[in-house]
Structure 1
Amino acid sequence: MATRQELLEKAEHFADSGELFNELSQLVARPTVSSDPAQSVAVNAYLDDVLRERFEAMGFSVTTDLNWQGSGNSFLVATRIEAQQYPTVLCYGHADVVDGQAGQWDAGRDPFELRADGDRWYGRGAADNKGQHLVNLKAIELILAEQGSLGFNITFLFEAGEEIGSPQLDEYAAAHREPLEADVFIASDGPRQSADKPTIFLGARGGATFELNVPLRQGGYHSGNWGGLLRNPATTLAGAIGTLVDGHGRIRVPELLPESLPDSVREVLAPVQVGQGKQDPEVAAGWADTSLSAAERLYGWNTLEVLAMNSADVQVPVNAIPGQARAVLQLRFVVGTNTGKIESAIRQALDDAGYSMVQLSMGQCFPASRIEPENPWVQWASNSLEETTGQPTTILPNIGGSLPNAVFESTLGLPTLWIPHSYPGCQQHGPNEHALESVLREGLQMMCGLFHDLGTRQDVPSASALASGKI
């Protein structure tokens, strides 16, 4: 049996030898763009060839469901059961990436060729999500190579459509409850709170996107001849938005907010500082709900943002009252928000303010979810990471963005721990996406330490519950 320290040294050597870069290069080179139907073969091959081969080499049993039920999403489930009495962990990753945006990367970089520039490894998927799931896979491979067994059971679920909204992931999980049964969910996606702070987050905010449309007339009318007589759709749109969120970012519709900020969430966010990274923009003073700290606004509360708006052509303005105006807004919300009332609350607020002519169209909505910070798995995992890194672990109740956490927390009923191996400035989804070598290296050590502890320590929450007969 390899010691914990020996595994950490193996992880360090693997990263420093260049092998981690080489393996990630092979994954990045596959253009697994889920939004492009022409790349569906590449996406499915990543599951059915690349990942299957790795898992079977580690003694996992593997099943794939390509284009499951015509959903446009494909799934892989890989399982290694060592003993029924052992705790079981469910891991997750996604094979797909967003469009490469070729030609828009700095220094002529090819999005599907991993390139190193100092600490930065540039390439599509380097951060989201290939670099992150490679770290977790490699940690399992290193442990098995050293000792031949894990000391726990593990299942990996991979999908091929996270970047297009994870179509039917929830339905797939519900239909496969038994093979996905576990004691805890541990996965890696999204960013750390900052590059130098190992982080565990416990869920994700939800999101509801909607469009406001003011289609008053075809074409424009001269602003001198008709100004003051015709309703201006742009002015109307601005006023309508202002009934929902004011010019200082404060949500004005109570139904679009949670009832309260739980004390447990406030407590874990108390030490968290945001916007401290070298490349982070300056946090705006006086913006949004200033009764909350910046961390509470980002991780514990709701925000309503205007994503896009237009009326006529701002690049070539003419002396005319435009005929139409449109805007796309998004509510990012936390657990405790009544999602069933979002549409009706927006409609009522617009009507009450005299904006019945503004059309409302709801778009994609994905749920918020998180586990309680007091869950025993949280402190257990935090202690493991701190033992590896020698520094405190930042605990976030949820990230500000969104992930399909509800599938695992709500549908499968698991405590959910996300341990990210990226950072806020990684530029995922845009040109110049990159991972930091230092974060991947530390992440590999953290996961080796965590998985070692899961297989050897006596204080594992699921093992304690089993021993006491509670489950």
Structure 2
Amino acid sequence: MSQTYQQYLKEHHEQHLEELFDFLQIPSISSLSEHQPDVRKAAEWLKAELGKTGLEHTAVMETKGNPVVYGDWLHADGKPTVLIYGHYDVQPVDPLNLWKSDPFKPEIRDGKIFARGVSDDKGQVFMHIKAIEALMETEGELPVNIKVLFEGEEEIGSPHLAPFVEAHQELLKADLIVVSDTGMPELGKPTICYGLRGLCGLEIHVKGASSDLHSGEYGGGVQNAATALVELLASFHDQDGRVLVEGFYDKVEASTPEEKEAFAKQAADEGQIQAQLGVPALFGEKGYSYAERTSVRPTLEINGLQSGFTGEGLKTVLPSEAFAKVTCRLVPNQDPYEILSLLKKHIEAHAPKGVTVSVTEFDKGYPYVTPRKHPAIQLCGKAYEKVYGVPVTYTRGGGSIPIVAEFDRILNIPVVLMGFALSSENAHAPNEHFHLENFDKGIQTICTYWNELKTLPLS
């Protein structure tokens, strides 16, 4: 076949965008039960697309929750086998009024595709499909063996994927796993993420009187549930952003000299970040740079608050209840179950008088780090550099993909985090978008990587 995959991708660019838009129009929101039919529709869409590329054994496979999508091509004798992981579920769109366009009617503006899920993670999943298609159409085969596994519950913590992987270890056996659900600091600066923070979360429920009370008649005599919650939440940090939960930092290791050197090279323009975010100042744990605080240091964040009257105008009540959602990002050696135990002890010790405080646990995920000098990671860096034309940087990500640590535990193979999104692309927020430049170069980089991996020693 005389046509190169680069020529094929250029020739079919508009067609590929139309296909991506079809995928993005499916509101596969895993956290909302009314969208379960849409989640399944997205899975069926993926199965059909995988079949068109030439992958075999394509299937929508059931779990105790949303289904996973599988497919493979295993005809590269003597070459490595790559397991590609991604997710097809997306976050809710609230608040809808802040979107400049319909989140499920994709639009291109200023060189960016705007739609829910385009950056996290449908766009990056789709790029792998098109890379497979381009190689199959131009070369008639793949340079390595490929297996794909796309799930529909990542945005709710992948509660059913680990049991699925446990039960299908032979099916998913591979030499490495490639995950495209991370990103780059900015356009033109390819970055390989070799580690992720873990995660744990909980909801705090503060209960006061049996119902809301008139603030004139009862104010000053009865504890206000909202005030009590604010007092409790304030006990989590000191004025410099350090977490005050006893034992929280006990197992946190200091960055290595190599990591510190890498952070110095990656030094972010904090003034530019501040301006981009529209905040008067950046803030965080004293003694660490912005890059360190957002990747290799653990955090405790308040994600949501609810209490009392929040409608238009004023209603003078003492709220009887107050809720807060809290999550922690964890670094190596921090166990999410142990951290949750420490949080509950702290909450019990600091519970204000006059209210009852209870806790509900949520997502848990372990942190993960791959040795950055592993051949699979170095070959990935080589692929980025060939396409982007600049040196790749290596960093640890601030986000969490809980299933990555589970892959490591169950399958015991290296995980390469090969992302193309930008942190500024509003994943999980209104006006999520994805840059066309990374869409185009990303597919080329994936194709290049598969060709580089032909030299990887088999495990």
C-alpha distance in 1 between matches for 2:345 and 2:32: 39
1:337, distance to aligned residue in structure 2 (A): 0.9
CA distances 1:247-304 after superposition (whole Å, capped 9, x unpaired)? 4422012422342134154444332234546973167757332211111111101111
8 Å CA contact 1:256, 1:342 repeated in 2: yes
C-alpha distance in 2 between matches for 1:42 and 1:312: 34
Secondary structure of 1:255 counterpart: coil
Give the structure 2 partner of residue 272 of structure 1.
266
Give the structure 2 partner of residue 27 of structure 1.
23
Q: Percent identity?
A: 27
Give the structure 1 partner of residue 120 of structure 2.
128
1:403, distance to aligned residue in structure 2 (A): 5.0
Give the structure 2 partner of residue 430 of structure 1.
429
C-alpha distance in 2 between matches for 1:139 and 1:160: 21
* Change beyond 3 A, Cα 1:245–1:181: same
1:440, distance to aligned residue in structure 2 (A): 0.6
Structure 1, unmatched stretches of 5+, are none
8 Å CA contact 2:112, 2:434 repeated in 1: yes
* Change beyond 3 A, Cα 1:294–1:63: same
C-alpha distance in 1 between matches for 2:259 and 2:246: 20
Give the structure 2 partner of residue 339 of structure 1.
336
CA distances 1:7-35 after superposition (whole Å, capped 9, x unpaired)? 445434543xx233222122223333334
TM-score by length of 1: 0.85
2:358 is aligned with what amino acid? Q
8 Å CA contact 1:73, 1:167 repeated in 2: no
Alignment of 1:375-394 (within 5 A): 375-394=374-393
1:58, distance to aligned residue in structure 2 (A): 3.7
1:321, distance to aligned residue in structure 2 (A): 4.8
Secondary structure of 2:398 counterpart: coil
Secondary structure of 2:301 counterpart: strand
1:87 aligns with 2:80: yes
* Change beyond 3 A, Cα 1:245–1:293: same
C-alpha distance in 2 between matches for 1:225 and 1:268: 60
Give the structure 1 partner of residue 59 of structure 2.
64
1:281 is aligned with what amino acid? L
8 Å CA contact 2:73, 2:147 repeated in 1: yes
1:46 is aligned with what amino acid? A
1:348 is aligned with what amino acid? K
* Change beyond 3 A, Cα 1:270–1:171: farther
Bigger drift between 168-177 and 329-338 goes to 329-338
1:441, distance to aligned residue in structure 2 (A): 1.2
Give the structure 2 partner of residue 52 of structure 1.
47
Give the structure 1 partner of residue 293 of structure 2.
297
Give the structure 1 partner of residue 360 of structure 2.
361
Secondary structure of 1:180 counterpart: coil
Give the structure 1 partner of residue 205 of structure 2.
213
* Change beyond 3 A, Cα 1:390–1:33: same
1:389, distance to aligned residue in structure 2 (A): 0.9
Give the structure 2 partner of residue 442 of structure 1.
441
1:182, distance to aligned residue in structure 2 (A): 1.0
8 Å CA contact 1:89, 1:183 repeated in 2: yes
Q: How many residue pairs align between the two structures?
A: 452
1:343 is aligned with what amino acid? L
1:374 aligns with 2:368: no
1:199 is aligned with what amino acid? T
Give the structure 2 partner of residue 325 of structure 1.
322
Bigger drift between 258-267 and 20-29 goes to 258-267
* Change beyond 3 A, Cα 1:343–1:38: closer
Structure 2, unmatched stretches of 5+, are none
8 Å CA contact 2:56, 2:72 repeated in 1: yes
C-alpha distance in 2 between matches for 1:235 and 1:113: 42
1:39, distance to aligned residue in structure 2 (A): 4.3
Choose which of 145, 150, 153 in structure 1 pairs with 2:145: 153
8 Å CA contact 2:204, 2:357 repeated in 1: yes
1:147, distance to aligned residue in structure 2 (A): 1.5
Give the structure 2 partner of residue 162 of structure 1.
154
Alignment of 1:155-234 (within 5 A): 155-219=147-211, 229-234=221-226
Bigger drift between 87-96 and 308-317 goes to 308-317
8 Å CA contact 1:31, 1:43 repeated in 2: yes
Bigger drift between 291-300 and 357-366 goes to 357-366
8 Å CA contact 1:255, 1:338 repeated in 2: no
CA distances 1:77-111 after superposition (whole Å, capped 9, x unpaired)? 2111124421111101222233456963655x333
* Change beyond 3 A, Cα 1:147–1:239: same
Secondary structure of 2:430 counterpart: coil
8 Å CA contact 1:91, 1:156 repeated in 2: yes
1:142, distance to aligned residue in structure 2 (A): 1.1
C-alpha distance in 1 between matches for 2:2 and 2:246: 56
1:177, distance to aligned residue in structure 2 (A): 0.8
Secondary structure of 2:422 counterpart: coil
* Change beyond 3 A, Cα 1:106–1:45: closer
* Change beyond 3 A, Cα 1:118–1:311: closer
* Change beyond 3 A, Cα 1:326–1:75: closer
1:344, distance to aligned residue in structure 2 (A): 2.9
1:420, distance to aligned residue in structure 2 (A): 1.7
* Change beyond 3 A, Cα 1:28–1:224: closer
Secondary structure of 2:391 counterpart: coil
* Root-mean-square deviation (Å): 3.0
C-alpha distance in 1 between matches for 2:232 and 2:96: 39
1:165, distance to aligned residue in structure 2 (A): 2.7
* Change beyond 3 A, Cα 1:2–1:165: farther
Choose which of 237, 250, 259 in structure 1 pairs with 2:252: 259
Give the structure 2 partner of residue 11 of structure 1.
9
C-alpha distance in 2 between matches for 1:412 and 1:230: 55
